[in-house]
Amino acid sequence: MVTRSRSRRTAESAWGLVLLARVVGAGALALLILVSGGWDSWRTAHYVMLTKGRERGTVTLAACGDSSCTGPFAPRGTATARPKVTVSLPVRHRVGERVPVVLEPGTTTAVRSGWGGLFFSWLPLGGALLLAAVVVAGGLRMRRTAWTLAGLGAALIGAAFLTL
């Protein structure tokens, strides 16, 4: 049996507490980043993913600004036509294009539907995955998990870029 001095045992237990605090803190931070990214994404993603009972149709872009476009809403199904709705779109869309959208209930705000709208609505989660990968690699020393998170985040951001 190996006997250690009291000061060495105290130092070893203190070092263990420091390591435990680092792991718990980094894990909590990574979880907070992922939850906040998922929460922010869900604010618009549920309009695109859960379309049953929502007003769907197309918007013919009449005027486009820096990050949003407006135009008349042409309904599909039982939706009501509207003379002007606003949809947040990247700059590359041009006036005259028709974009499939889902209207937010009780507003004139539209969310792009289809694959492009789905990936675009989950874009905050993609950024959170990339940021959490850095925390997991540095704080938790879990390199494979970090590479997986980073790969998923990059794939989500890449898919949003390619489908818009």
Say how far apart CA 75 and CA 132 lie, in whole Å. Answer: 40
Domain ranges of the chain: 24-50+114-164, 52-112
Would you state the pLDDT for residue 11?
Answer: 64
SS3 of 67, please? coil
CATH number of 52-112: 2.40.50
pLDDT per position as a tens digit, 124-137:
999 999 999 999 99
Length of the chain measured in residues: 164
Quick one: average pLDDT of 31-56? 93
pLDDT per position as a tens digit, 107-155:
889 999 989 899 999 999 999 999 999 999 999 999 999 999 999 999 9
- pTM of the predicted structure, to 2 decimals: 0.83
